[in-house]
Structure 1
Amino acid sequence: MKKTTAYYKTFEGDSYQIGVLLGKWALSKPEMLKAMLLPPKVYPQKKLEEITELLDQYCSGINEEIQGFADTVGIERGQALFYAMTYLERGCSLIAAMPAKTQEGHTILARNYEFSDVMEELCFSYTQPTGKYKHLGSMINLFGRGDGMNECGLAVAQASCGMPVGNFEGGQKAEVSGLQFWAVIRGILENCQNVKEAVNYCMEVPIGYNMNLMLADKSGEIALFECIDGHKANKLLDGQTEESFLSATNHAVLTELKSFEKVILENSMIRNDLIVHFSHAREKFTKTDIKQLLSSPYPNGLCCHYYGDFFGTLRSMIFDVTAGQVEMTFGSPQQNDWQLFTFASQKDMEFSVQLPYEQTPKNFYNIL
């Protein structure tokens, strides 16, 4: 059993001011700060100019936020690792249900997120940037978001689709130039009001990452957006569709993209089959039902403890977009309590987190 600390932080102000707050927090966490920086003059100026322009177009405000961070920490802006990692994780299971499928009659988006705790801030934050939608979301590389819900009642979460793409050891090289998922998600949370706007945004923005993106809004619409090597497709469910449920793990489920997939892991198929069976076995389900699915150990459920191999549950989440609240655990839901967050949750908090490191089964990464 490993013990660590997770955080809930609030950031308000214009983009530069939020960057200053991030910088002050990072200065209080020297090891985290060190992991977020590159040495001076390492990142090529031409690439910095390209990613700066791309972010200004599709996720405006982040460059100013990073400048505030850099000025506070005392570095050049190009030393922020976010830039090198964003211009172009592994696990994750996604569930979205319309009101007709839930006992409360609410629209729900739920997910488990699997990765390694040593490469995560383990911080869930409230961010209110001037002139943009305020949002609750999980921080990635300080300036990105891995999931979240905004004040309009739009929720979003992602899972890698196929082998992870990125500028890191073991990552697949991007087939097209574009943004990482954490920049896309932040762009959605700060600029889109509903599922349709988010899908249109995703179809327009250049995306270098291979991902499944699940979306839900308080009007009752849900959608799955998929991207593989720049090829995109989406499926949207509304009040006119017979289906009321969507799921995705780490492979393509939309017919249009299946031919572009290079690798499918057996564990991804098993997890998605579990979710589909969970849905078909119930006319309607409750949040308690979802928590049981998220908490049950693989292969009978979605919870994994393989942190040493980048596949440990770092957070389990239920976004109730109808009620405007998020229930989540930091770390495995088998060992840690569920916490409730709303847009009134603006007091910084720390949480002691238990991570039950387990040996990865030999056949876990079998390729189909």
Structure 2
Amino acid sequence: MRNYDFSPTLYDARLVFSNPMNGYASVGFSQQIIGRLDGMNEYGLVVGLHFVNNDYHGEGFIASTIVRILLEQCKNIEEALKLITELPHGYCYNYSMTDQSGQSIVVEASPHKQELRYENPLICTNHFQTTSMKEKNKKNIQGSVNRKHFINNLIEKNLTTIAAYRHFNNGNSPLFFKHYQQYFGTLHTVVYSPKLLEVIVGIGEDAEPITISFKDYLNEALTLPKKLKGWIDLNYKDGME
């Protein structure tokens, strides 16, 4: 489960179902059409990106391209870990991953190195935590630290999936942001279920969750909705925290 925060002016607003000839089928939100912000493939591998810092950059793939490569070429975390550490990374991002085994991991990646952080339960926000990578964080990471702490408290409550979704998607939640003019506003909330091969999605704030069976898509038994509608408050004027 995750929120994706950015600007609607740079948002594809597309949930893509893909079934390539030379790769694994997947579902996920696109970025610049060919990339993926997050997604799940037919074997239940789930991958999401989490921006950390753009002050350190080099020659390599952008994060959304890396997410798609992993989804289309890897069946599980073991394969994904091998591949992601071989790819050249252009920027500093966290990559959160889980699969049908229930194993979960965060890959802290920069153009210079990658560090693995095993997380159970899986919680990932927008800062590096390993000792060797902390120097590449932004100067102020308190907001990211607070979000991680809030999510950890939610997990301890043993909420149902839909109840947890509503905590993420509620417009007044500490996990939901409306700073769209500053490129930090929540655009979608999504839940990928690797064991059920289901996707639960809501666009904007306080959206009624829509459940889509990726298994039905794979079996050619799914009629895809033409539109996913939601409310994004572009007139929100409060300053950044």
CA 1:234–1:318 in structure 2 vs 1: closer, same or farther (change >3 Å)? same
Residue number in structure 1 paired with 2:239: 361
CA 1:231–1:360 in structure 2 vs 1: closer, same or farther (change >3 Å)? farther
2: CA distance between counterparts of 1:216 and 1:227? Answer: 17
Residue number in structure 2 paired with 1:277: 153
Q: Is the 8 A contact 2:169 2:202 kept in 1?
A: no
1:140 aligns with 2:13: no
2: CA distance between counterparts of 1:360 and 1:248? Answer: 26
Deviation at 1:229, TM superposition (A): 4.0
CA RMSD of aligned residues (A): 1.8
Higher relative contact order structure (alpha carbons within 8 Å, sequence separation ≥ 6)? 1
1:248 aligns with 2:124: yes
What SS class does the counterpart of residue 113 from structure 1 fall into? strand
2: CA distance between counterparts of 1:297 and 1:289? Answer: 14
Q: How does 1:189-228 map to 2 (within 5 A)?
A: 189-228=71-110
TM-score of the aligned structures, taking structure 2 as reference length: 0.90
What SS class does the counterpart of residue 133 from structure 2 fall into? helix
2: CA distance between counterparts of 1:229 and 1:207? Answer: 5
Deviation at 1:337, TM superposition (A): 2.1
Deviation at 1:252, TM superposition (A): 0.8
What SS class does the counterpart of residue 68 from structure 2 fall into? helix
1: CA distance between counterparts of 2:228 and 2:99? Answer: 29
2: CA distance between counterparts of 1:272 and 1:135? Answer: 27
Deviation at 1:158, TM superposition (A): 1.1
2:161 maps to a residue whose letter is K
What SS class does the counterpart of residue 132 from structure 2 fall into? helix
1:257 aligns with 2:133: yes
Residue number in structure 1 paired with 2:186: 313
Q: How does 1:65-76 map to 2 (within 5 A)?
A: none
What SS class does the counterpart of residue 337 from structure 1 fall into? coil
Q: How does 1:281-296 map to 2 (within 5 A)?
A: 281-282=156-157, 284-296=158-170
Output one character per residue of 1:80-139: Cα deviation in whole Å (capped at 9) or x when no partner.
Answer: xxxxxxxxxxxxxxxxxxxxxxxxxxxxxx100011111111000100110210000111
Q: Is the 8 A contact 1:154 1:321 kept in 2?
A: yes
Gaps of 5+ in 1: 1-109, 166-171, 238-243
Output one character per residue of 1:148-170: Cα deviation in whole Å (capped at 9) or x when no partner.
Answer: 00001111111101x2x3xxxxx
Deviation at 1:245, TM superposition (A): 0.7
Q: How does 1:1-368 map to 2 (within 5 A)?
A: 110-161=1-52, 163=53, 165=54, 172=55, 174=57, 176-236=58-118, 244-279=120-155, 281-282=156-157, 284-297=158-171, 300-332=173-205, 334=206, 336-343=207-214, 344=217, 345-347=222-224, 349-357=226-234, 358-362=236-240, 364=241
When Rg is computed on C-alpha atoms for both structures, the one with the higher figure is: 1
2: CA distance between counterparts of 1:235 and 1:264? Answer: 21
2: CA distance between counterparts of 1:222 and 1:278? Answer: 18
CA 1:273–1:322 in structure 2 vs 1: closer, same or farther (change >3 Å)? same
Deviation at 1:346, TM superposition (A): 4.8
2: CA distance between counterparts of 1:183 and 1:291? Answer: 27
TM-score of the aligned structures, taking structure 1 as reference length: 0.60
More helix by share: 1
Percent identity, please. Answer: 24
Deviation at 1:308, TM superposition (A): 1.7
What SS class does the counterpart of residue 197 from structure 1 fall into? helix
Aligned residues: 234
Gaps of 5+ in 2: none
Runs ≥4 in structure 1, deviation > 6 angstroms? none
Q: Is the 8 A contact 1:251 1:264 kept in 2?
A: no
Q: Is the 8 A contact 1:228 1:261 kept in 2?
A: no
What SS class does the counterpart of residue 231 from structure 2 fall into? strand
What SS class does the counterpart of residue 294 from structure 1 fall into? helix
1:124 maps to a residue whose letter is L
1: CA distance between counterparts of 2:163 and 2:228? Answer: 25
Deviation at 1:295, TM superposition (A): 2.3
